[in-house]
Amino acid sequence: MIHRARTVAAGFADVGLTHAEELLRRMSPEGREQARREREAKARRQRRLMVRLVVAAVASLLIWALLAGMATAGVALAIASALMLLLTTLVFTRADPRAPGREALTQAALPCLAEEAVVWIAAQRRGLPPPALQLIDAMSRRLDELVPRLGRLDPRSPEAASIRKLVAVELPDLVEGWRAVPISMRRVSHADGRTPDDHLINGLQLIGSELAKAGEKLERSTFDEIAVQGRYLELKYSEDDRLP
């Protein structure tokens, strides 16, 4: 009974400590930087929605202009209005609220995967040990760097599949597995001599390292593409210059 009471008390103490750590993190420069990245990701989603709405409006105006010369003004306006309503409905249907939790990662299109991962990581920070917080801050920066590169990557390529598995499957499995451990047991060594906190930190280090390798590989691929294109232009136009 006494042992159980001590365990419960230790659990409550750990909960209070994690809340205090979370408050300090939010006030820190890293916490403010993370909040900035979340706002930017939300703003990018809103911009994409606005662009789609503008495209829908322009398409409706073009249809109205084409029909105005072939039908009465009322018929042309009715058809254009119906098209605008249909396109707007489709835009908002495809822009449903972001799926909660890890579903946002599994359902994200490849160009948006890194942005969704940054938001997901921010939501998982509460209660993480300080070394893990430093690792996921570095991971968020790597994911920010991957955003433009993922937009150019073929979703069917092995590289895309590897990044998606790493970010949408293995990272959530690691963090959720750690959260399933009772708070009072997360710093207790097990048979292998490691604590659940140790396993979490080691796993985050490995995932961060793999993300860094993936980013370097994509960067080399981009350099190779521009080098090939430059060489092609040199050969083509240098050859043309030598012609009489």
pLDDT of the residue at 8: 38
Distance CA 157, CA 217 (A): 13
Query: How many residues can be counted in the chain?
Result: 244
Do 170 and 106 meet the contact criterion of CB atoms below 8 Å apart?
Answer: no
Q: Which of 122, 129, 148 is nearest to 39 (CA)?
A: 122
Distance CA 239, CA 58 (A): 45
pLDDT tier, 121 (very low <50, low <70, confident <90, very high otherwise): confident
| 24-33 mean pLDDT | 60
Backbone angles phi, psi at 98, to 5 degrees: -55, 135
pLDDT exceeds cutoff 70 at 137: yes
Each residue of 161-178: pLDDT tens digit? 999 999 999 999 999 999
Do 150 and 111 meet the contact criterion of CB atoms below 8 Å apart?
Answer: yes
Could you tell me if residue 101 is left (phi over 0), alpha (psi between -120 and 50 degrees) or otherwise beta? left
Pairwise pLDDT comparison (4 vs 237), residue with the higher score: 237
Q: What does the mean pLDDT of the chain come to?
A: 77
pLDDT of the residue at 9: 40
Domain map (residue ranges) of the chain: 1-96, 99-244
DSSP string over the chain: -HHHHHHHHHHHHHHHHHHHHHHHHHHSHHHHHHHHHHHHHHHHHHHHHHHHHHHHHHHHHHHHHHHHTTS-HHHHHHHHHHHHHHHHHHHHHHTPPPPPTTHHHHSS-HHHHHHHHHHHHHHT-TT--HHHHHHHHHHHHHHHHHHHHHHHS-TTSHHHHHHHHIIIIIHHHHHHHHHTS-GGGTTS--TTS--HHHHHHHHHHHHHHHHHHHHHHHHHHHHHHHHHHHHHHHHHHHHHHH--
